[in-house]
Amino acid sequence: MKCFYYYRFPLCKIGIAEEDGAICSVFFDGGRISDFFRKNGIGENETPLIKKAADQLGEYFDCKRKTFDLPLAPGGTAFQMTVWNALQMIPYGQTCSYGQLAAVIGNPKACRAVGMANNRNPISVIIPCHRVIGSDKSLTGYAGGLDLKEKLLMLERN
């Protein structure tokens, strides 16, 4: 069974979805995903796992948590899963470029493909795609917007 629930955090409102005992989506309130869920019969329900994820996100936003301990099931291609696993290796408070991430996964010429996989990350914040920046240190696209990306990076640097 798949379900989701929304929480208000200091920087934004976040939806958390669970399916079959694992977190499958963490998304920013934009209505698009929750509309999709509702149209497909996925209900809004706070499960113990969703609550645990929300508690850990709350600790993250309070600067009391640097890593997450949750079962994750992002659901993607083998390449996307490789990129998302590599994202989880970027230490709290640090950043890397798309090129650096491509090199980490053993495919240094795959910068654009890494960028596309980063863009499709369904579990924002917990799988920290916000830690990937341009090679010139500029902030690049983020599902929650560049303002939120900057705030998340600043939160981690403090």
Of the candidates 46, 71, 68, 45, the one whose C-alpha atom is nearest the C-alpha of residue 58 is: 68
Non-local CB neighbours of 142 within 8 Å, separated by 6+ positions? 129, 130, 148, 149
Of the candidates 121, 127, 131, the one whose C-alpha atom is nearest the C-alpha of residue 152 is: 131
| Catalytic residue selected from 12, 24, 96, 129 | 129
**Active site includes 129?**
yes
Non-local CB neighbours of 91 within 8 Å, separated by 6+ positions? none
Instruction: Supply the residues annotated as catalytic.
Output: 129
